[in-house]
A = this chain, B = another copy of it.
């Protein structure tokens, strides 16, 4: 499912690359690590990648759904995300007090203090992955052939970093498969090939590698090892700021019956459904393109511009 390929060797550092992108206006600094504005040129590339993903999935006739970048807190509680990735969570807190509490809140702000303590949990959490609301949406019985769903969303992961490829908030375009075990394994494998073709078509030097999720803590190391042993997750990696440690720009995952169980998704016989997904990181692919072809998209190779509808 993974074919070997050579890698290019980007010469400059992560910091140097970000400095170039900021100077060229492609990224706009906000003052927070991993939170950037983007200009028209960057956004046009993102739109092009989005369209390529849709085209690559078209023969699977996915149902398109779009959820906002927050999901219900109960969905996160149910999903097991807090067991695996508490360090990445972005829970939304708000203010429910009256005039007196408000005065105290403003005083804390004025004094540069921590005003988070004046807030309390709301019913929502920032979306950790575009496919999460899909599992809640399909709770219940699947049609005979299962379902294929196209989902895309801004996602949040609390991991401040100077690495341009490690944004705290970024867009992910996913195709999700729900159905039998065989359909999900086939889908995952098929998308490693399709994903690799898609990325090669736009001139990226891609490799397919076995991978694991960044599970938290002591127990997490065990989960990660099991995930690799069972070969559940593969990533497509491309050099962005390091040839030795290329960055994952897409991943294909077979979740077995993990989400089927948690969200009570089953087939007509009552058997728990399996799920799989492929996710494309739109900012990361754009950065890989800027790294590979230069920071002036108007001078990219004609075939790449054409594929991206630039």
A residues whose Cβ falls under 8 Å from a Cβ of B: 28, 30-33, 35-40, 42-43, 63-72, 74-75, 77, 82-83, 86-99, 102, 105-106, 109, 114-116, 119-124, 126, 133, 136-137, 154, 156, 158, 160, 167-170, 216-219
Contact = CB atoms under 8 A, between A and B. Distances in A.
Contact of A37 (B33, B65, B92, B98): B65
A99 B37 contact: no
Centre residue among A93, A169, A216 by max chain B CB count within 10 A: A93
A130 B37 CA distance: 12
B70 A156 contact: yes
Contact of A93 (B72, B102, B116): B116
A94 B216 CA distance: 14
Contact of A82 (B82, B90, B109): B109
Contacts of A217: 98-99, 102
5 contacts: A69-B154, A70-B126, A91-B92, A114-B120, A154-B154
B169 A82 contact: no
A37 B94 contact: no
Nearest to A150: B40
Given A30-B133, A160-B123, A168-B124, A93 B95 contact: no
Closest 5 CB pairs of A and B: A116-B121, A40-B64, A94-B158, A86-B95, A68-B169
B114 A121 contact: yes
Contacts of A74: 31
Contacts of A170: 68
Contacts of A169: 68-70, 124
A70 B30 CA distance: 10
Given A156-B92, A217-B98, A43 B31 contact: no
A308 B177 CA distance: 31
A286 to B, nearest CB: 12
A105 B119 CA distance: 18
